[in-house]
Structures are given as structure tokens and as C-alpha cells.
Amino acid sequence: MRKLLLATTAIAFALSSAVPAFAEFNDRNIRISNGINADHPVGNGIKAMQACLDEKSGGKLKITAFWGGALGGDLQATQALRSGVQEGVVTSSSPLVGIIPALGVFDLPFLFGTPQEAYQVLDGKFGDMMNEKLEAAGLVNLAYWENGFRNLSNSLRPVTKWEDFEGMKVRVMQNNIFLDTFQNLGANATPMAFGEVFSALETNAIDAQENPYVTIDTSKFFEVQKYITETNHAYTPFLLLFSKAIFDTYTPEEQAALRECAVVGRDEERKVIQELNKTSLDKIKAAGLEVNVLSEEEQARIREKSMVVYEKHKAEIGAEVVDAIIAELAAIRK
């Protein structure tokens, strides 16, 4: 009888060890807002993240995504996270500069040459340093996703060197670093609401604009432009932010699952957005636009020309932040 009891106990223990430990997970509804629409690659990332959470939590951690700014703009949603009344948001870095000035580092011109450079920096020590600054502001960055590189389209001429910007009327966002960047290259930088850009290009009120390939494609800018230059002049990450006030109430297992699954979502989102950029570029070429890529030598030359912009904004971003990212990129490029 004693042997039977011991055997039964051993079997029960073995079975319990084989079952995932879902007891460390609670039923949670995780609201994540986005400014973009569900058909954006972020949507693919959210699906991959949810599949990962289902596996790790036994279906207890559920994401409810709100698209198209349904819970407010990126800044408003981020403030809701800081107040502990909303769980998450996927936001680009630029709108948050007023909260964490150091995020302005990602607006600096010609910072990254390739997506791989950006990934190495964001997923490495520099990204960790920025995450500490975010946590101090009440925000946990689960992972850096991708908004992507911005490139130039224009109706005047191919841009193969920085001198080709001279006199070109370029629409830019209302962002001081962007304004300074193009003015420094000799362009006439013109802030303008996004909804006005197509007609301004069509009527030649402006000569050029700058956006990711996907935006150039979906906004049909290729219909009123002749040239595309892959300048890669600005790379903007998306941040998958979580309310620190709420995150701190989660179990260690829940926190670990969120971090790990955010990385799974990140990898899927980056993959899809790269594929979509290639598809959009193919459509732009098929429309008859002349496309060229800035050489590595010219990128380095323009980056050197743009150092005056780095110096101008260094104090507001934080000298230690600017110096750290320049040093890390120099090490990568050796």
C-alpha cells in the first residue's frame, strides 16, 4: 500500500511538473492604443505578441488594441500611462520629447545608415540607457519596434550630394531639428500640415517632401514627383510603452512574459515593415520615378555637414546622450 501511495505521489508530481505554471498569471485585459490603423505592420506585431502571451499565460494575458488614436493621440495616451489609467501605447519617439528630452536624439539627421545599425543601437546598451530614462518618467519600454527611415521625393532633380538640396522647397514636419537639418543643407524647409502636401506638390507650391516609402506610396505622392532619393536622413523607432504604475503590480512571471513577447512582436513588425517598404518602392519605380541611393561616402559627408545641427540641439537633448550614441555608432562602423 505504501509503495502504491509513493508511486501515485510520484506520478502526480511528474504530471504537475509537466503542466505550464499558469498559476503565476492572472486574468488581465491589457489595453494598448496606437495612432496608426490596424493594417499597419504594428498590427502584425500585436498579433504575434498576443500569440506568444497566449502560450506563456494559458490565455490569461489578453491585449485589446485600440487603433487610429481611438484612446487619444500618442502624447495623451502616454500621459494616461504615466497616471496609471491605461496599460500600453505604441508611439513614435518624437511626440514624447516634451516629457523625455533625450528622445530628441532619434530626430538627429543621418544618425543611422541602415536598419541593422539602428537595431544594434536600440537593442543594445544605448537602448537600455534610454529605457532607464523612460522608467524615471513612469514608463516601461518593453521593446523598440520600427516606424522606419524617411526618404526624399522631389520634382526638380536627382539628389546625389548635399549641394543638390540648394534652393529646393522641402515640406517638413513642424520639428525644429528637421527644420534646421534641411536649412543647413541649403533647402527652403517649409512646415506644412500633412493633408496639404499632395496639392502643394501638384501645384508646385513646394518641390519636395520626405517620408517613409510606404507613406509616399499610400499617399500617391509618386503621381506628382519625378525623383526619389534614398537618403535615410531620419530613422524613427516605435516604442511599446507600458504604465510603470500598472507594470509594478504584475507578478514577475507576467512582467517577464510581456517583455519576452514584446520582442517576438518586435521581430515580426520589423520584418513586415521591411517587406512593405520594398513593395512600396517597387510600386514607385513602376510608376516611372527615377530612384537613386545616396552612397556611403556621401552619407558620411552629409553626416559631417550635419554636425552643426547636433551641436545646436546637444544641450536640450543631453550632451551625454548625444555623445553616447555617436560613440556607439563609431564602434559599430569600425
The per-residue pLDDT for range 267-298, each reduced to its tens digit, is: 999 999 999 999 999 999 999 999 999 998 99
| Distance separating alpha carbons of residues 18 and 21, to the nearest angstrom | 9
118: CATH: 3.40.190.170
Count of domains observed in the chain: 2
Supply the range of the domain harboring residue 227.
151-234+280-333
Statement to judge: residues 199 and 169 lie in one domain: yes
Within a domain: 206: yes
Within a domain: 299: yes
Residue 165 DSSP code? G
Statement to judge: residues 212 and 313 lie in one domain: yes
Within a domain: 125: yes
Statement to judge: residues 266 and 324 lie in one domain: no
pTM of the model: 0.85
pLDDT of residue 8: 47
| Distance separating alpha carbons of residues 25 and 190, to the nearest angstrom | 52
Statement to judge: residues 195 and 226 lie in one domain: yes
| Distance separating alpha carbons of residues 24 and 28, to the nearest angstrom | 12
What is the DSSP secondary-structure string of 68-126? Answer: TTTT--HHHHHHHHHTTS--EEEEESGGGTTT-GGGGGGGSTT--SSHHHHHHHHTSHH
Statement to judge: residues 74 and 139 lie in one domain: yes
- Coil, helix or strand for 29? strand
What is the DSSP secondary-structure string of 42-66? Answer: HHHHHHHHHHHHHHHHTT-EEEEEE
pLDDT of residue 91: 92
Statement to judge: residues 133 and 165 lie in one domain: no
**Residues in the chain with pLDDT values less than 70:** 1-23
Within a domain: 108: no
Statement to judge: residues 60 and 175 lie in one domain: no
Statement to judge: residues 228 and 241 lie in one domain: no
Statement to judge: residues 82 and 40 lie in one domain: yes
Statement to judge: residues 177 and 215 lie in one domain: yes
Within a domain: 162: yes
